[in-house]
Chains A and B, each alone.
Chain A
């Protein structure tokens, strides 16, 4: 058997963590608390191989009854009960355990392997076998036996076990070829399921813990974008030959007919200053140029956004109708960021999307469960998008209460983006003016003037150099403080 052969788990996202799948003939521990999804995951893999003509042996050791397992699995779309018993065979090792101890279990497993000739064995209830062992040596002997059986017959084995405090000392952690740990963690008053590949012998994998969900379709894992980006080989930094026009005449003139076609642009500014309209203009310009484009929003529904685009004369609506432009809206309460990011990346890949607007990055930041993750997440996410040749525009509401002073949304955000366009209000007497300035364009000349712009039914109009008379003489874009996260 080739060393690079893969035994796919068929759990969406998991095979990506495993860089392809498991090694045929390997023994893998699936560990987690009760209810973490271990049994569902194992059934999902088994059902996939059974449906493809494989033979699955599901061994239980004083855990749920086979009737209970079947009843639970019927509710999942991946499980067709017709695969039982021919392709998916349940057997209990409990009688052998009671009559012959772990030695009896070894003999029973050897007998079943011979008679069923399975491609995959799932052993559910390792903790029971450990408790029933007469000695630590007997338990170790069982594990060595299982591992040798797998190696010598090419059978892949998933061993399901509850997690225990003394896990690290369990010889299963040494003997197994890989360890998948399923956990839950508290985040923003929500319980989040996670999966981590703790060990994978002789194979590359995506490290760290990753968000996992269980739905009616079974288990799905969303690889952390930071891990996906770190796995890019070589780090993808394509050239930026073409320009992504904004579609706003005065703006494009300021930036030499557009930003790099796979660059990342940040637009910070106060509420109501027009950040979303800049994003919609950017999107429409791409669609007009024949590109597929995506708007990822958290505040306004697609209908409201289209009405907003209509109100300033943008021709986005027909592009949405034609399928060239997609507006995806996520309620602020449903901020499973890794799932959202994976959905965007899948769409970009599948539909060759060339522009993505994220309105705003602040919602992604609030949805991230771990402090300090925002910048690594955004850097990785945008790196993956730009690796596809996609231009990204991020908006961010970052200002003081009167909108006159704009603050960078994160310390060091500048390093993660190529371009920064600051939108702000300036006060002259009782009148507020909208003004824009281009703070940064990577590797590209740009206009450095502060310019006024107006928003009307005709669109966004950028004027000439702002008349400084009566305006405050201060820089109104400041770096974020270190404790922004």
Chain B
């Protein structure tokens, strides 16, 4: 079975390193981006199977990235998870069409299984 490709998007390098490191160690093939524009470009080029994207970023924010992916006929089926240091009830994430929300300050160790289940559910 080939490794799931996940695109992790975060403007904070440490959060990117931690999330990417954890997913990589859990068997994912990890693509990373630090800006929204870069994320959309990578998504079009490398077609990840799931996207984990921070909401608050300079330039395009996570919801803009999500809308761009969902509006693209070739990419719209890719599950997008938005995550943030804001709590779920503190930010409007649903209007972007995202499939799920993760609170950043929850236990990151549950993330690999969460993403796998999401991808399996999408197929």
Chain A proximity of B23: nearest CB distance (Å)? 10
B18–A149 CB distance below 8 A:
yes
Known: A111-B25, A114-B25, A148-B12. Is A1-B105 also a contact (CB below 8 A)? Answer: yes
B44 CB within 8 Å of chain A: no
* Contact digits for A1-40, partner B, Cβ 8 Å, 1 yes 0 no: 1000000000000000000000001000000000000000
Which residues in A have their C-beta under 8 angstroms from that of B18?
110, 145, 148-149, 152-153
Q: Are A148 and B14 neighbours in the complex by a CB distance under 8 Å? A: yes
Give A244-261 as 1s and 0s: 1 = Cβ < 8 Å from B's Cβ atoms: 000000000000000000
State whether the Cβ of A65 lies closer than 8 Å to any Cβ in chain B. no
Minimum Cβ distance to chain A for residue B12 (Å): 7
Distance between Cα atoms of A84 and B19 in the complex (Å): 29
- Whether A114 contacts B14 in the complex (CB less than 8 A), given A1-B106, A152-B105, comes out as no
Minimal Cβ-Cβ distance residue in A for B104? A152
B interface, over-half SS = helix
CB neighbours of B104 from chain A (8 A): 151-152
Chain A residues with CB under 8 Å of B26's CB are 114
Please report the C-alpha to C-alpha distance between residue A28 and residue B105 in the assembled complex, in whole angstroms.
Answer: 17
Alpha-carbon separation in the docked complex, A1 to B108 (Å): 12
Instruction: Say yes or no: B108 contacts A153, CB within 8 Å.
Output: yes
Chain A nearest CB from B116 CB (Å) reads 16
Contacts A110-B22, A114-B22; A145 near B14 (Cβ below 8 A): yes
Distance in angstroms between the alpha carbons of A153 and B106 in the assembled complex: 6
Number of interface residues of B (CB under 8 A): 16
CB A100 to nearest CB in B, in angstroms, measures 14
Query: Would you call A107 an interface residue if the criterion is a C-beta within 8 Å of the partner chain's C-beta atoms?
Result: yes
**A154 beta carbon closer than 8 Å to chain B:** yes
Which listed residue (B17, B105, B108, B109) contacts A145, Cβ 8 A?
Answer: B17
Taking a contact as CB atoms under 8 Å apart, the answer to whether B19 and A152 are in contact is yes
B15 part of interface (Cβ distance < 8 Å)? yes
Residue from A25, A144, A153 within 8 A of B14 (CB atoms): A144
Whose C-beta in chain A lies nearest to the C-beta of B108? A152
Given contacts A148-B12, A148-B14, A148-B15, contact A107 B108 (CB under 8 A): no
> 1/0 contact trace for A106-118 toward B, CB 8 Å?
1100110010010
Query: Which residues on the B side are within 8 Å of A141 (C-beta)?
Result: 14
Closest residue of chain A to B111 (Cβ to Cβ) is A152
Q: Which residue on chain A has the smallest CB distance to residue B20?
A: A110
Chain B contacts with A in 10-65, Cβ cutoff 8 A: 12, 14-15, 17-19, 21-22, 25-26
* Contacts A145-B17, A148-B15, A152-B105 supplied; 7 other A-B pairs, CB < 8 Å: A1-B106, A25-B105, A110-B21, A117-B109, A152-B104, A153-B107, A153-B109
19 residue pairs bridging A and B, Cβ less than 8 Å apart: A1-B106, A25-B105, A107-B21, A114-B22, A114-B26, A114-B109, A141-B14, A145-B14, A148-B14, A148-B18, A149-B18, A151-B104, A151-B105, A152-B18, A152-B104, A152-B105, A153-B107, A154-B106, A154-B108
Interface on B for A, CB 8 Å cutoff? 12, 14-15, 17-19, 21-22, 25-26, 104-109
The 10 closest A-B pairs by CB, nearest first: A148-B14, A152-B108, A154-B107, A110-B21, A153-B108, A144-B14, A145-B14, A114-B25, A151-B105, A148-B18
Q: Which A residues form the contact surface with B (CB < 8 A)?
A: 1, 25, 106-107, 110-111, 114, 117, 141, 144-145, 148-149, 151-154
